[in-house]
Amino acid sequence: MFDLFATILRVLFCGFQSRHQLLLENLALRHQLTVLQRSVPRAKLKRADRFLWVLLLRCWSGWQQVLVIVQPRTVVAWHRAAFRWFWRWKSRPRTGRPRVNRDLIGLIRRMWQANPTWGSRRIQAELAKLGIPVSDSTVRKYRPRTRRADQTWKTFLQNHAKELVAIDFFTVPTATFRVLYVFLVLAHERRKVLHFHITEAPSAAWTAQQMVEAFPFTTPPRYLLRDRDGLYGADFVRRVESLGLEQKLIAPRSPWQNPMVERLIGSLRRECLDHVIVFDEEHLCRILTDYLSYYHRHRTHRSLDQDCPQPRAVEPPDQGKIIELPLVCGLHHRYARQAAA
């Protein structure tokens, strides 16, 4: 009975209000009815509803008298939250680290997907060759992080890189379960493979002949780093001494003391030979020739300041769009710029 009497008095009082106040009160009441109709049994206000009541709070002094579905302090809290949001937006920093372009993110991910053996440094170096400067942390952010072993004998190699070559054998099984021996001669200065050859029956005389073929017209460096394998017999020692090479033998069972050539053999296996089945000696020779061409001309190295054994020019962005060139039968890719046709 009391509620009915209060409603009648409020209706009579409305006749003395201005048209502006009546319109605002009508808007507020109709809005609350709409909210109640769409959210039975409990009223649920959306962001637009809250924004409306914040506006009513700012432009109408009688908003509290018609508010029913929420408490007035709730509307005040909405207004304060809107105030904080507005000044946070207005005070946002206008400068800072630029965002990474979406095209660059996509390129980094494509490089990772197409070259699963690459690390973040390799991708960074490849992007640098395309004229795209990007930090190593940015590359790591958009591709999984992998571990790389540190190199040993660092001081020795830095002091003797120009005068040091390393040799070693590694084996490759064939499809018919034969074993082929690959002999490598590696120059430490630019990580360049000076010579390689393949045989089924290595001997000291055969290995000595490979050293002669590695330096047919040039004077060899001063030092030769090798292990204590029995294949380096008397014939090999005499031939090496006649070439003017001073042999440096690593400790027994210590392949880490010959890290450059061991790293090269590891790269050959991980990036090439572990993904193919070798049929015979001729097939293996073609595979190694193809990979070493990629290794010398396209593969970047951290120790060479992200360059290749044969220096590779940087391609600035104005030379065209980036294209992808498959190498080593698609195991690796070269990224270059091509001018638009």
- The rounded distance, in Å, linking the Cα atoms of 329 and 308 is 20
Q: Mean pLDDT in each 10-residue stretch from start to end of the chain (341 residues)? A: 49 61 74 65 69 74 67 76 83 71 86 80 90 86 58 59 90 94 92 94 94 85 91 91 91 91 94 94 95 93 86 87 90 84 52
In which residue ranges of the chain is CATH 3.30.420.10 found?
Answer: 154-304
CATH classification of 154-304 is 3.50.50.60, yes or no? no
List the structure tokens of 219.
């004077």
pLDDT of residue 149: 44
pLDDT of residue 236: 93
Token pair 């390799």 is found at 122
The closest alpha carbon to 171, from 268, 86, 256, belongs to 268
Average confidence score pLDDT of the chain: 82
Token pair 């009497």 is found at 5
- The rounded distance, in Å, linking the Cα atoms of 14 and 7 is 11
pLDDT of residue 183: 97
pTM recorded for the entire structure: 0.58
Q: What are phi and psi of 220, to 5 degrees?
A: -70, 160
Quote the distance between the C-alpha of residue 278 and its chain's center: 31
Token pair 């660059």 is found at 104
DSSP conformational letter for 39: S
